[in-house]
Amino acid sequence: MPYWTSRLKCVRPNRPNVPRATSRLHASTAWLARSHKRIKTTLLLAIYDCWFQKHLPSGNVIMPSRLDSCARLYFLEGQDWCPFPAWAHFFIRTGWELQRASVFSERLVIAVCLPQRGFAACFAALGALLAEPLPRPTPDDIKRHFTHLLTLPDPEQNPTALTYLLAGRKLRGSFAGAVTRGTQRFVKVCVQTKSAYRSGGLTYYVQEGDAINLQIEPGVQPRLGRQIKGRTLVPHTSFVNHFYSQDELHLLHLAARCQVLIVGRINALREETTQVPCAVPTPHNQMNGGVLNDILRIRKFLSESSPARIALYPTQRGTGPSPEDQNASRLVIFDGADAFTKWCVLFPNANMLVILDRTEALFQEGLSQLNARYYLRSGEYPWHSNIQMPPGVEAISFLEVRR
């Protein structure tokens, strides 16, 4: 298959909310490609990209600038701020590409061989998250959520703990029933705020439009009274502000599906994403600091009620990723040959990034499995032609038929 047709084959979208128009365009682009073989693929792709950006529903704007913002990332080494190395940018770019790659019946597999796999998974995950807009709840989602809240069990018999996101604070409370005022229905939620501490608490009437700010806290027993206090949300670090607009920051606090799934080493990832200070310099030569998990929001490293964007599963323990996470994640990152050889069968459809560490015990096994899969590939995916490979990295990419 010539390069440009395979490139076209990989072009976009199964993106939500733009199904019919997009597939029409895809069909016409494919026709164009067949009919005018001399037209440069890049030109077609440019047309496609412009159209795609233009026709995305409002709010779901992909910001290519986010990838550029990564170029200004620094990390703290001892007392000094150092710019992110080239290999870090390579992984961010790889994650970005994997998340954006969308093909109709194929999935993209990228595998890399490294002298040491530290930080590779979290940088790739960062790139993948930045490639996608924050999932914004649709009116249908909100309606479904509100209906679900209305059907919660009777608070007298079976109380339900809720959190209420209000003016930058996350209040803990409990479901106090549903009421109708006129033609509108409301969910009643009792909360305890610091200001209302003496008076015994507050009851809010939450209508459908605001329902998305109410989240159920699974497994938490609500205890109203003196013990319950509202928790002021930790404000987003200015580090996060660098990547998201003010409007988008609000979405970080809403429950969202996990966009990326990582199978790997919990402790190593915890240290890499929560203990290494990162920063972006301001025009006034100050550093807006934070940690990678401010953006990554790995579920294991957040409190239970905090919405997560990445699901992380250990390689060795347990029964593996839950079916919900398996289905929700469009990208799976296998951090190590052991993770890949053990769990890859669970993901027949998601795009995959396989990180192989040359010093791992199972390196050869992972490598031979990937080489075997390469021979059974359904197509090439040579997007790397524009990427500068950092020294010491070896990579392979191919397409596989989704099962």
Instruction: Quickly list DSSP for 92-106.
Output: HHHHHHHHH---SSE
Confirm or reject binding of residue 262 to another protein (CB under 8 A): no
CB of 61 or CB of 82, closer to another protein? 82
Confirm or reject binding of residue 363 to another protein (CB under 8 A): yes
Helix (H, G, I), strand (E, B) or coil at 247: helix
CB of 102 or CB of 369, closer to another protein? 369
Confirm or reject binding of residue 374 to another protein (CB under 8 A): yes
Confirm or reject binding of residue 384 to another protein (CB under 8 A): yes
Confirm or reject binding of residue 317 to another protein (CB under 8 A): yes
Residue 401 in tokens: 């038929």
Confirm or reject binding of residue 75 to another protein (CB under 8 A): yes
Other C-beta atoms within 10 Å of 152: how many? 18
Confirm or reject binding of residue 81 to another protein (CB under 8 A): no
Q: How far is the CB of 283 from another protein (least distance, A)?
A: 25
Q: At what angle do helices 120-131 and 86-100 cross, to 10 degrees?
A: 50
Confirm or reject binding of residue 360 to another protein (CB under 8 A): yes
- Of 173, 162, 240, the closest CA to residue 203 belongs to 173
CB of 116 or CB of 245, closer to another protein? 116
Instruction: In whole angstroms, give the CA distance from residue 87 to residue 66.
Output: 18
Q: How far is the CB of 234 from another protein (least distance, A)?
A: 24
- Contact of 351 with 108, CB cutoff 8 Å: yes
CB of 325 or CB of 357, closer to another protein? 357
Which residue do the tokens 């159209």 mark?
51
> Judging by DSSP bridges, how do beta strands 310-314 and 331-335 pair with one another?
unpaired
Confirm or reject binding of residue 318 to another protein (CB under 8 A): no
CB of 142 or CB of 266, closer to another protein? 266
CB of 123 or CB of 243, closer to another protein? 123
- Contact of 312 with 266, CB cutoff 8 Å: yes
End-to-end CA distance of the chain: 22
Confirm or reject binding of residue 356 to another protein (CB under 8 A): yes
Residue 283 in tokens: 């025009």
DSSP assignment letter at 301: G
Within 105-134, the residues that bind another protein by CB under 8 A are 111, 113-116, 118-119
Q: How far is the CB of 108 from another protein (least distance, A)?
A: 14
Q: Which listed range, 81-89, 99-107, 196-204, 207-215, lies at the site for another protein (CB under 8 A)?
A: 81-89
Instruction: In whole angstroms, give the CA distance from residue 291 to residue 142.
Output: 31
Instruction: In whole angstroms, give the CA distance from residue 336 to residue 361.
Output: 10
CB of 305 or CB of 397, closer to another protein? 397
Q: Which listed range, 132-140, 221-229, 235-243, 352-360, lies at the site for another protein (CB under 8 A)?
A: 352-360
Instruction: In whole angstroms, give the CA distance from residue 350 to residue 345.
Output: 11
Question: Which helix or strand (DSSP H or E) is residue 185 part of?
Answer: strand 184-191
Q: Which listed range, 48-56, 85-93, 147-155, 195-203, lies at the site for another protein (CB under 8 A)?
A: 85-93
- Contact of 90 with 76, CB cutoff 8 Å: no
For binding to another protein (CB under 8 A), which residues are involved?
A: 75, 77, 82, 84-85, 87-88, 111, 113-116, 118-119, 265-268, 271-272, 275-276, 314, 316-317, 356-361, 363, 367, 370-371, 374-375, 382, 384, 389-397
